[in-house]
Amino acid sequence: MIKVEHLKKYYGDFLAVNDLSFEIGEGAVYGFLGPNGAGKSTTMNIITGCLSPTEGKVTVSGYDILEEPIRAKRMIGYLPEHPPLYQQETPVEYLRFVGQAKGLRGEKLEKAIESVIELTGIQSVSGRLISALSKGYQQRVGIAQALLGDPEVIILDEPTVGLDPIQIIEIRDLIKKLGENHTVIFSSHILSEVQTICEKVLIIAKGELIAFDTPENLEKIEQEKCAVHLTVLGGPEETVQALSEFFGEESGRYSIDDSASEEPSDTTKVRIQTDGGDTKALCRDLFFHFAAKNLALTEMTTERASLEKIFVELTEQSAEREVEKK
């Protein structure tokens, strides 16, 4: 459906997208994940023809976005990062213009407008000026614009930003529903959001594709990066003793967290790295081990790897691979 080949984009001297290649199939929801400034919006702008790549090629259903832009763009509905709305118009007037530009006429146009208004739930505000709408409703009008004309590919750049929690759930459901018979690509920097609704996840950082995988596989990486924090009622010596008995040779797994050592305390803080196995079982074993040693645990928390950590991990991996290649 969408084929991106060796995409490169320079802003002056700044390399925003570096040799990005991937292929996106039909009828699924794809999540586009990356920290701020990773090149998500730039890539989306290039795919939709809003921006020209410095190098590389994008084809949509076989149509090159630069050589046959009209045909390629007819296949795409796009919501940019800032919803491009004419503030002095009502949503209906705005959607009528977009529909006409997408080649819809007459009855077909009116029906299409009605259906996207219903889909995005903006019936109640469809007659008010866009400038008078709240951010959430403006975002929905932007999404409605992208859905208009039933394009085969729908690209949404951070569609849930600025919405309240109920609206976020509604939009996520909408994206899921659209994924049944459209190809949907949406970007986000919220890992859980992408995990819940996507069939495939693309992770980019610093303009490079560092993972293109199913959410399940990403979760594995996430689990490997988990940690368990303990607060032990007892001195550091006894704690280390207990830990070394528990872990045996894997002494690298735990570390004493002495950042809070200024205040005199009778507790010791420990950070334990998980190994990708069952975290709950690890917690249970730790609990009974320390109980048997007559050391009380006053606190035990598990820390899930943040998206940033996964990025760091994945980018480090890709950097290592680079070095190996050389």
Partner 1 sequence: MTPVLKHELRAHFHTLSTWLFMAFLLAFVGIGAMLYNIQAAVANFEYVLQFVCIGLVVIIPVLTMRVFAEEKKQKTDQLLYALPLRTSGIVLGKYLALLVIFLIPTAIIAVYPLVFSKYGDVFLLTSYGSMLAFFIMGAALISVGLFISTLTENQGFAAGIAIVVFLLNYYSVRLSEYVSKGAVGSVIALSVLLLALTALIYILTKSSNLAIGVLCVGAVLLAAVWRFNRGLFENLLPTIMSKLSFFDRFYVFVNGVFDIGSIVFYLTVIVFFLFLSVQSLEKRRYN
Q: Which stretch binds partner 1 (CB under 8 A): 24-32, 100-108, 117-125, 158-166?
A: 100-108
Say if residue 309 is exposed, middle or buried (CB neighbours under 10 Å; 0-12, 13-18, 19+): middle
Q: Which of 3, 8, 15, 50 binds partner 1 (CB under 8 A)?
A: 50
Asked if residue 70 binds partner 1 (CB under 8 A), the reply is yes
Q: Which two tokens stand for residue 81?
A: 């990062």
Size, binding site for partner 1 by CB under 8 A: 30
CB 17 within 8 A of CB 207: yes
Q: How far is the CB of 89 from partner 1 (least distance, A)?
A: 8
What's the closest the beta carbon of residue 153 comes to partner 1, in angstroms? 12
Give all strands (DSSP E) within 138-221, no chain letters.
153-156, 183-188, 200-205, 208-213
Cα-trace Rg, the chain: 25
Residue type, 57: K
Work out whether 51 is an interface residue with partner 1 (CB under 8 A): yes
Q: Is residue 62 close enough to count as binding partner 1 by CB under 8 A? A: no
Q: Which stretch binds partner 1 (CB under 8 A): 65-73, 167-175, 263-271, 290-298?
A: 65-73
**Beta strands per DSSP E along 110-205:** 153-156, 183-188, 200-205
Nearest approach in angstroms of CB 209 to partner 1 is 23
Choose, by CB under 8 A, the member of 62, 67, 82, 292 that binds partner 1: 82
CA distance 112 to 40: 29
d(CA 228, CA 301): 6
**Binding test (CB under 8 A) with partner 1, winner from 3, 8, 57, 102:** 102
3-state DSSP call for residue 121? coil
Interacting span for partner 1 (CB under 8 A) from 68-76, 214-222, 257-265, 286-294: 68-76
Q: Quote the CA–CA distance of 300 and 3 in Å, as a whole number.
A: 47
Residues that bind partner 1 (CB under 8 A): 11, 45, 48-52, 69-71, 73-74, 76, 78, 80, 82, 84-89, 93, 97-98, 100-103, 145
